[in-house]
Chain A
């Protein structure tokens, strides 16, 4: 799974720490999400999408292969 978190975060000039504060997680969790090393819960995916003013399917890109 790939994510557009880093790209959208840069658009809104947010650091990993800012986004972590907005969604109530640790900074490392945002880091792992950006690297594709962690699959978030639906609730966290929703919260991040909301914070970055986008939708979940715009934020997370699933490889069908």
Chain B
């Protein structure tokens, strides 16, 4: 039952991200570089969660567990590193806005752009790290 709720939550995230992406593409005429990066990150998250979902559904179907002690450990560790990574991203963005635009004559990142990066980049980082830890074994 616990696995079922997890699957529903992940499925919800994947569908919400995909629908959001479709609306975004429908309403935007010309995309900026940062928006291409957003698209790439959303696609990475959706593809990653879809692979995890399909694998889990297949394993549940043949009677295997999808949430054992090793998975729990690797997921927690991936979450911990993702938290540290997101703090570093936030600090880096702050320093970017302080140092880079003035010295190199590029525009500052807007609040929307910073929020977008802070939400999507750690999400993609978590998916990548979870895949890596699942291949590595103990962490």
* Chain A residues within 8 Å of B, Cβ to Cβ: 17, 20-21, 24-29, 32, 35, 37-41, 43-44
Contacts and interface: CB of A to CB of B under 8 A. Distances in A.
A20 B65 contact: yes
A28 B69 CA distance: 12
Interface of B: 59, 62-66, 68-71, 134, 136-138
Contacts of B70: 25-26, 28-29, 32, 38
A31 to B, nearest CB: 8
A9 B97 CA distance: 59
Contact of B69 (A17, A27, A35, A44): A44
B137 A25 contact: no
Contacts of A41: 69
